[in-house]
């Protein structure tokens, strides 16, 4: 199959230098959603040839997909309508397969709907339509008394009677490629917009006695495009509603389906619960029985079975074991591995570190570039000082270590198994295993000291 995706529009009402099709919905550019749907249409062994028609911001769109060599781009300059846009793609299309036309700013169309359209069209023409309670602004689908499609008329060219039709054109069409070439060559711009409409091929097909099948989309959200930030926000919420419904379908308990944002891929086991206001970015997996408290941001993480993430945490690139307890107000920076039953408490930050089973940093600590053993207790205010102003250094804390409150471990350093670091210590040398190490100034009281008095 040939797939042509129209992505040349300026999007003036977006009021942004970013090309319209690169604006994100659910964490991905709108065009990426369309490309993912297009990829689903390929049956095993079938080749899908995808051509993207670019215009405004063409170089930025090309650059965004520079890692996709299978995609082909053509430039539409100037932009003279949808029919003119498809004309630019014709040299890259194979005549032996049909051509499906999609839109880079219509991100929610489902592969199942497109398959239904292609199947209904067969060797002829298929048009995806939708019924809207307020069809204003859309091209109307004109049928005869028997329900056969006659033509599509744009709003500005429609008569008063035609404007009362509630079945509208979505712009998505599939047609035999040789006939598509023929019909596009016959297009005229004699209309209110002075543009070459792709929809005019419907009337051409009818004139050539080629059957036109109109398939009505079951969900209007699939057919909605984006021309403004308000419409972008509307589609964002629709995408999130889809994600919430899919999660609940597999048994996830959502405190409020209207207050979750999935900006990537979220998979979950059984008996998972998610409180309000959570944002999931990238690829996140929640194992059986995981409990996510309110207002967490979780990016590219795997969270183990039975683990609880309390509210207001920011977790990034972390692998967290089973029955752990994280937060509230905790942060992990990239490359963190926390084993089973690890506790990371309020105002604790962990970066590029591993904590073995049963270790705890319950409050007010920083653990950076460290390998922490099992059953370690990191006291309040403990800092692993990993940066010397130019380079990062690693700290090794062996099993069963206890660091007292407000201690500083200056890397590179090793703390032996079972050692205790006294509160308030600044440790710069290796700490022996099983010993108490004190590294702080001796307390002194000066009886002769007098507090200074501010001069008047």
Q: How far is CA 179 from CA 3, 99, 123, 184, 276, in A?
A: 16, 10, 11, 8, 53
Question: Which one of the listed residues 56, 343, 363, 393 is annotated catalytic?
Answer: 363
Is residue 363 part of the annotated active site? The answer reads yes
Q: Which among 252, 348, 256, 245 is positioned nearest to 294, based on CA atoms?
A: 256
Distance between CA atoms of residues 100 and 137, nearest Å: 23
The CA distance from 415 to 434, in Å, is 10
Strand partners, 426: 408
Q: Is 27 helix (H, G, I), strand (E, B) or coil?
A: coil
Q: How far apart are CA 298 and CA 316, in angstroms?
A: 6
Residue written as tokens 């495009």? 225
How many angstroms separate the CA atoms of 128 and 145, rounded? 20
- Identify the residue whose tokens are 């007010």: 364
Give the number of C-alpha atoms closer than 13 A to the C-alpha of residue 105, restricted to the C-beta side. Answer: 21
Nearest one of 185, 212, 41, 204 to 124, comparing CA atoms = 212
Angular region, 398: left φ>0, alpha ψ -120 to 50, beta rest? beta
Active site residues: 363
């Amino acid at each position: 199959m040939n797939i042509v995706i129209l992505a040349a529009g300026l999007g003036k009402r977006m009021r942004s230098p970013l090309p319209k099709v690169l604006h994100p919905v659910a964490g991905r550019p709108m065009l990426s959603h369309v490309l993912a749907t297009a990829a689903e249409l390929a049956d095993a062994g079938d080749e899908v040839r995808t051509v993207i028609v670019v215009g405004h911001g063409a170089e930025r769109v090309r650059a965004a997909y520079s890692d996709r060599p299978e995609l082909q781009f053509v430039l539409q300059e100037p932009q003279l309508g949808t029919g003119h846009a498809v004309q630019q793609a014709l040299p890259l299309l194979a005549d032996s397969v049909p051509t499906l036309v999609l839109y880079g700013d219509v991100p929610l169309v489902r592969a199942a709907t497109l398959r239904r359209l292609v199947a209904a069209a067969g060797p002829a023409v298929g048009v995806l339509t939708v019924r809207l309670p307020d069809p204003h602004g859309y091209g109307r689908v004109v049928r005869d008394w028997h329900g056969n499609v006659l033509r599509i008329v744009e709003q500005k060219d429609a008569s008063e009677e035609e404007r009362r039709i509630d079945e509208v054109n979505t712009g998505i069409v599939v047609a035999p490629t040789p006939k598509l070439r023929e019909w596009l060559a016959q297009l005229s711009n004699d209309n209110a917009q002075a543009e070459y409409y792709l929809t005019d091929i419907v009337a051409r097909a009818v004139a050539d006695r080629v059957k036109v099948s109109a398939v009505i989309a079951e969900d209007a959200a699939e057919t909605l495009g984006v021309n403004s930030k308000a419409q972008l926000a509307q589609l964002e919420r629709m995408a999130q509603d889809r994600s919430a419904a899919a999660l609940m379908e597999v048994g996830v308990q959502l405190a409020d389906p209207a207050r979750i944002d999935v900006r990537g891929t979220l998979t979950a086991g059984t008996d998972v619960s998610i409180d309000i206001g959570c944002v999931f970015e990238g690829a996140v997996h929640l194992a059986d029985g995981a409990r996510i408290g309110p207002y967490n941001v979780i990016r590219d993480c795997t969270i183990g079975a039975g683990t609880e993430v309390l509210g207001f945490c920011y977790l990034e690139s972390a692998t967290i074991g089973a029955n752990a307890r994280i937060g509230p107000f905790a942060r992990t920076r990239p490359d963190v591995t926390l084993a089973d039953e690890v506790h990371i408490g309020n105002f604790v930050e962990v970066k590029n570190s591993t904590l073995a089973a049963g270790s705890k940093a319950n409050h007010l600590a920083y653990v950076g570039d460290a390998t922490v053993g099992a059953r370690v207790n990191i006291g309040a205010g403990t800092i692993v000082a990993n940066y010397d102003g130019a380079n990062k250094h690693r700290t090794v804390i062996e099993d069963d270590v206890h660091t007292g409150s407000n201690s500083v471990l200056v890397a590179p350093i090793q703390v032996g198994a079972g050692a205790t670091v006294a509160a308030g210590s600044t440790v710069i040398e290796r700490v022996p295993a099983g010993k108490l190490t004190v590294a702080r100034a001796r307390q002194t009281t000066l009886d002769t000291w007098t507090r200074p008095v501010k001069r008047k």
